[in-house]
Amino acid sequence: MSALECYQQYLAIKQHFSKPNYDYFKYNGKVKVNAATFDARKDKLFFQKLAKHPDVTNFLVANLSENDKAWIKELAYSESAEKTYKAWIKRQQSLTYIFQNDLEKLDRVLKNNFTCKSGEHPLLLKKFLGKEISLETLCILLEFSGAKAMWDTKMEYDLVWESFKTKIEKYLPFIKYEKDKLVKIALDYFEE
């Protein structure tokens, strides 16, 4: 990957996670980039370094999904950015295992995890905020259940939910999993 292509990926993924109107998948990761403007940038060196990474796109997704304000210098020369990437890869590779373990931390009665009680967050959201379950599990369960629409209505003015709902929408398309397999695992776990 060239430094210019790396810059384009960085902008596309950064905009995906920080701008509500930009969708990385809808636009196939394309953003307008001017080569002359890029060549004049003082931080071009950082993109040259990052372009040598063996997995630039996933590296950027891993880091910018956690912090959409991260600058290129932090990413190109940071050990913590590489640790974030490795932890993200590990989660993606063991998603079924993580999902099963996360289910054990939830109420066995399915609806109890999604119900919004007056003035309280749903149990599923509390478990995520308490770092008991992963973002991937939260996203997958919200996708299966369709509960996100209900949460949007019930927690319309909730600042905590407002800060996470866009992150969930933006992050979900990057999660690669076998839907039928995880649905079966969830159905086997939860009681009606």
pLDDT tens per residue across span 36-51: 888 888 888 899 999 9
Measured distance CA(137)–CA(54) in Å, rounded: 27
Cβ atoms of 59 and 89 within 8 Å: the answer is no
Report residue 11 as tokens.
Answer: 């902008």
The per-residue pLDDT of the chain, averaged, comes to: 89
Among 55, 77, 92, the domain boundary falls at 92
Torsion sign, CA atoms 82, 98, 110, 176: positive
Nearest alpha-carbon partner for 140 in 176, 91, 188: 176
What local confidence, expressed as pLDDT, does residue 14 receive? 92
Measured distance CA(31)–CA(13) in Å, rounded: 10
Amino acid type, 112? N
Local confidence band at 192 (pLDDT 50, 70, 90 cut-offs):
low
Average the pLDDT over 98-124 and give the result: 88
Higher-confidence position of 127 and 20 = 127
Q: What residue numbers bound the domain in which 35 lies?
A: 3-92
152 Cβ partners below 8 Å, 6+ apart? 161, 165
Q: Considering its fold, how many domains does the chain have in total?
A: 2
Clarify whether residues 98 and 183 are in a common domain. Answer: yes
Average the pLDDT over 78-91 and give the result: 92
Clarify whether residues 98 and 84 are in a common domain. Answer: no
Residues in the chain: 192
Burial class (CB in 10 A: 0-12, 13-18, 19+), 174: buried
Report residue 134 as tokens.
Answer: 């992963």
What local confidence, expressed as pLDDT, does residue 117 receive? 79
Report residue 74 as tokens.
Answer: 């932090």
Cβ atoms of 121 and 150 within 8 Å: the answer is no
What local confidence, expressed as pLDDT, does residue 145 receive? 86
Average the pLDDT over 10-28 and give the result: 91
Clarify whether residues 184 and 99 are in a common domain. Answer: yes
Q: What is the DSSP letter of 132?
A: S
CATH code of residue 143: 1.10.220.50
Amino acid type, 149? A
Q: What is the DSSP letter of 117?
A: -
Local confidence band at 89 (pLDDT 50, 70, 90 cut-offs):
very high
Torsion sign, CA atoms 92, 14, 10, 44: negative
Average the pLDDT over 150-176 and give the result: 87
Among 62, 92, 122, the domain boundary falls at 92
Average the pLDDT over 152-156 and give the result: 85
What local confidence, expressed as pLDDT, does residue 69 receive? 85
Clarify whether residues 19 and 72 are in a common domain. Answer: yes
What local confidence, expressed as pLDDT, does residue 88 receive? 93
Measured distance CA(80)–CA(147) in Å, rounded: 34
Q: What is the pTM of this model?
A: 0.84
